[in-house]
Amino acid sequence: MTTRGTDLVDRSKAGLTGAEVSARRVPGGNRLPVQRPPSPVRLLVAQMVHFFALLLWAAAALAVVGGMPQLGVAIAVVVVLNGVFSFVQEHRADRAAQALQDLVPHRVTVVRDGVRQDVDAVDLVPGDLVLLEAGDRLAADLELLEVHGLRVDEAMLTGESEPVAKEAGDPVHAGCFVVEGEASAAVTAIAGDTRLAGIATLTRTVQRVRTPLSKELDRVIRVITVIAVGLGLGCFGVGLLLGLPAGEGFLFAVGVTVALVPEGLLPTVTLSLAHSAQLLAHGNALVRRLESVETLGSTTFICTDKTGTLTQNRMSVVTVWTPAGTTTVRGEGYAPVAEVDGPADAVTAARDLARAAVLCSTGRIRQEGTTWTAAGDPMEAALDALARRTGATGLDAAEGPGTRRFAFDPRRRRMSVLAAGVLYVKGAPDSVLDRCVRPDGAPEAVAQLAARGLRVLAVAVTDRAVAEDATADDAERELTLLGLVGLEDPPRPGVDAALAECRRAGIRIAMVTGDSGATASAIARETGLWREGRSLVVEGAALPADQQELAELLDTDGAVVCRVAPEDKLRIAQALQSRGHVVAMTGDGVNDGPALRAADIGVAMGRSGTDVARQAADLVLLDDQFATIVTAVRQGRATFANIRRFLTYHLTDNVAELAPFLVFSVTGGAVPLALGVLQVLALDIATDQLPALALGAEPASARALDGPPPRQRLIDRRLLARAFGVLGPVQATVSMTAFLTVLLGSGWSCGETPAAGVLATASGAAFTAVVLGQSANAFACRSSTRPVWRLRWRGNPMLIGAVAAELAILVAMLAVPPVAELLGHRPPSLTGFLVAGCAVPALLAADALTKLLGARRTPHTRSATH
């Protein structure tokens, strides 16, 4: 820590004595409370016992009880492997509280026993006298005692983008930065009693909401469970009525139940979400919870921060008004190179103004690699950039001997520097203009600049002699106005287009910020967030206490909520959720943690955000771009559509797998089983898996953002009718036809027991028909509205490779003797293969006819699935 002047120490109290410090020390010291992260074992077990996993465990147990231990082991392996994969993907220790430790400095300067000394921040106790200067991060909650031009950056706690001027008696909080000035302060709270720790506690206690996907998957499993168990019991009862022995009836009931359980669905969902998460990562969006990928597509309301999300979070001078004329400045960020346009006299006057503004500033710009950044107050850094852009010289003149500084004072709202006999002044226009001689035209110029949403500063000078003992008020009079500076925090490029895309997608947007209403509404208008006649501006303190009233007030597009506290953002998210909205909340500060955790989708900034915000969020924007949210929403909608695609694909297969058990049961065993349980498992896990995964990687439709998010469920009547009423029966009919054709061709009659070799060959034909039907079904499931021949073959190259691999696996399962013997089948005869091959044209024709009839019934229905 740098050496300090002695003024504060000389005028302050002597601080605590050593004995007082010892008496006030608390166990653990000034450490923020840390919540122990969840046990990895507990997280892993959770992946093994959710609703879908429990269904599969039950199926495995039934298989073992039914005398099929191989099947039970195979299903258990599927559950374990999927659980491990999900655990690896989502194992992010919830270190939000731990990250808070990085926000507390390691050393702090205090006065004890009348002596200034540096101590570990952990040793602070209530009542300690702390000395502050520019650059310090506060180690505890403090009450200011003596203040000299102190300004504090409280953005991480309040969201306020500009440093706040402080006076004696004001509180300041742990984790905030001193941007400018000096102060002495007394410690009022440490460790878990600080406001920072309070927000951390609020973040931890807020329960994450269940994602729409998890709710829908639970519903899907309930539907499948009811159907599987119901049909299993039904087949058992029918078999008993038709004279089937109870033991065999139970075995076939187990087979029916297992056949209807899509064992491959769980890994398909997980891998599809992981694929989407990988695509988003390439697009600068890091997904921390896999299920959040689909939730993005369901988003109906986005509550966005202003600074750093809609804007670039860097001040820039765009206009300089002087009595000689107006100068326009066009530059990128803080880079010292820019276009400066205006009359020659005006540009010269702007140069003089910029030099004067820098002389009474401490913030500067500095180069880090190829990028120019702010060192100190961003506004003062922007003035330094202006000076360099206009070619001003002598910017270090205020650092020599004889220089006097009158620090910024919230009462005066200006600061000044006396250097080489000249007093340079900058501050709020109304505080400077009143002290200027004939500021002609300036009030009108201030109004025009403010109307553009710019922050306005006035700069003035005087070469009048200033007494050595003069106060700031005495020195800062009879000034000559140099001009006005208009600064902006420019919107991010493309944010207006991104907001328009959100609205095209039926998503409402509100700005929720700690900034003032004037600044926030100006940015809302500039970015296009503002909706004339519909938008409103409301301060956090004016928000209704009643949740329903709050929801009704804010459930509109283009609302601007300013001066919000962390509790306000949390209430806003919960109120909108109570109206049925799926809420995405953006944020970057510690104050945003509770709301990020409570929202359906918490979106944190990766570059400018704090670790606390990133750990509490579901999605981290690595480039801090609002437009990246739109990309994520599009991918989320694609993910929802893709899950419906491979659900249709899996359920179609289940019908074909179920048919042999139904036929066997209904005929009382007169028709032998066309497919065994191990063959069913091979279809679900081996042949079906790759095409299903490829369907899960289907690119987003160009129309994915046309209109509000789909309100349809993952499994609805339309999907069930397509899978169970059309595609499944066609596939099952061809499969059973191929099976019976081989049997009848060998001279078999109904009720006879066929030879083992003949039965294996017929079973191979049925197995082949299902696999070929599924290869055609994979292409049919790419769209719910267009037939296969109207789709781009190169639209999903992964699917072509997956189907090729599926056919190769089919050949291996039929032709490799140990595998074929294990599954209980042989390669089909030529006749059986030809009949099995009919599954491809039959399924594609049925699919095309269904889509044609559906298009005639609902010609104007939008589809997000191509």
Q: So which residues are the catalytic ones?
A: 305
- Measured between alpha carbons, how far is 412 from 498 in angstroms, rounded to an integer? 41
Number of other residues whose CB lies within 10 A of the CB of residue 748: 19
Q: Which two tokens stand for residue 736?
A: 């059973």
- Measured between alpha carbons, how far is 285 from 278 in angstroms, rounded to an integer? 9
Sorted by sequence, the CB contacts under 8 Å of residue 122 that are 6+ apart come out as 29, 30, 31
- Measured between alpha carbons, how far is 494 from 332 in angstroms, rounded to an integer? 15
Q: List phi, psi (to 5°) of 562.
A: -115, 165
- Measured between alpha carbons, how far is 279 from 267 in angstroms, rounded to an integer? 18
Spatial contact of 239 and 668, defined as CB atoms under 8 Å apart: yes
DSSP string of 630-686, one letter each residue? HHHHHHHHHHHHHHHHHHHHHHHHHHHHHHHHHHHHHTTTSSPPSS-HHHHHHIIII
DSSP string of 705-758, one letter each residue? TSSSPP---SS-HHHHHHIIIIIHHHHHHHHHHHHHHHHHHTT--TTS---HHH
766-797: string of b/e by CB count within 10 Å (b at 16+)? bbbbbbbbbbbbbbbbbbbebbbeeeeeeebe
How many residues make up the chain in this entry? 866
Spatial contact of 194 and 340, defined as CB atoms under 8 Å apart: no
- Measured between alpha carbons, how far is 111 from 183 in angstroms, rounded to an integer? 12
Q: Is 579 helix (H, G, I), strand (E, B) or coil?
A: coil
Amino acid at 3: T
Q: Which two tokens stand for residue 270?
A: 């997980």
Q: Which two tokens stand for residue 676?
A: 């065994």
Sorted by sequence, the CB contacts under 8 Å of residue 480 that are 6+ apart come out as 436, 437, 460, 461, 462
User: DSSP state, 38?
Assistant: P
Task: Give the CA distances from residue 20 to residues 125, 128, 403, in Å, rounded to whole numbers and listed in that order.
Answer: 9, 9, 41
Q: Which two tokens stand for residue 842?
A: 């039959």
- Measured between alpha carbons, how far is 799 from 698 in angstroms, rounded to an integer? 8
Amino acid at 419: A
**In a 10 Å sphere around its CB, with 0-12 CB exposed, 13-18 middle and 19+ buried, how is residue 146 labelled?**
middle
Measured N-to-C along each axis, helices 566-578 and 547-554 cross at an angle, to the nearest 10 degrees, of: 80
- Rounded to the nearest 5 percent, the helix, strand and coil shares of the chain are 50, 15, 30
- Measured between alpha carbons, how far is 369 from 367 in angstroms, rounded to an integer? 6
426 sits in the region (left: phi over 0; alpha: psi -120 to 50; else beta) called: beta
- Measured between alpha carbons, how far is 211 from 601 in angstroms, rounded to an integer? 9
User: What's the maximum distance between 2 C-alpha atoms anywhere in the chain?
Assistant: 123
- Measured between alpha carbons, how far is 723 from 7 in angstroms, rounded to an integer? 82
Q: Which two tokens stand for residue 721?
A: 């009718």
The residues that bridge with 415 in the sheet, in sequence order, are 426
Amino acid at 679: Q
